[in-house]
Homo-oligomer: A and B are copies of this chain.
Amino acid sequence: MRHLVKESTEPYAVGVVDVFPWDKFSLGHRLPFGAQWYTLPPNATSKQDCHPEVELSIVVHGTASVEASGQITDVGTGEVFLLDSGEAHVIHNRSGNASLLVFTTFWMPPEDSPDSGTAGGEEAEAAMAGETRT
C-alpha cells in the first residue's frame, strides 16, 4: 500500500489556484490517468482551462461552482464532476470563508471515442441516468 498526501508534493500556483502535482510519486506508468489536488481560497475564481484530456474531479472540501458550457453548477463536498475533452471550464469558490479542495484525474480519450472531439453528445446517457446535466 502507498499513502499519498499533498504535503509530499511540490505545489505551484496558477493564478489563485494552488496545484499539488503527482510527478514526485513516479506513478505515471502505473495509473491509467494523471492526478493532482488543487485548492482555491474563499471568494476566488480560477483562470479558464481547456485541454484535450477528459477530466473527472471530486470535491473534498467546500463547494466548487463549475462554469462550463454556459452554466454554473454547484458541486458539493463528496460530489463528482466530469468534463469532456475540449470543454472549457472555470472553477469558482463562492464561499466567503471555506477553502475549496478538489482531487482531479485526467486522461486522453481513445482516438476513436466520441470524447476525442469537442464537448457534447451525451444527452441520451444523462437522461437515462436521470441525473442533472449542465
Residues of A at the B interface (CB closer than 8 Å) are 1-6, 8, 24-27, 29-33, 35, 37, 54, 56, 58, 60-61, 66, 68-69, 71, 73, 75, 77-84, 87, 89, 101, 103, 105, 107, 109, 113, 115, 122, 125-126, 128-134
Contact = CB atoms under 8 A, between A and B. Distances in A.
A126 B101 CA distance: 25
Contacts of A81: 1-4
B73 A24 contact: no
Nearest to A31: B56
Contacts of A30: 54, 82, 109, 113, 115
B3 A75 contact: yes
Nearest to A66: B1
A49 B84 CA distance: 33
A114 to B, nearest CB: 9
Top 4 closest A-B pairs, CB basis? Answer: A32-B32, A4-B80, A1-B68, A2-B82
Given A1-B134, A4-B81, A4-B131, 6 more contacts: A3-B73, A3-B81, A30-B54, A58-B103, A78-B103, A80-B103
Contact of A26 (B71, B73, B113, B129): B129
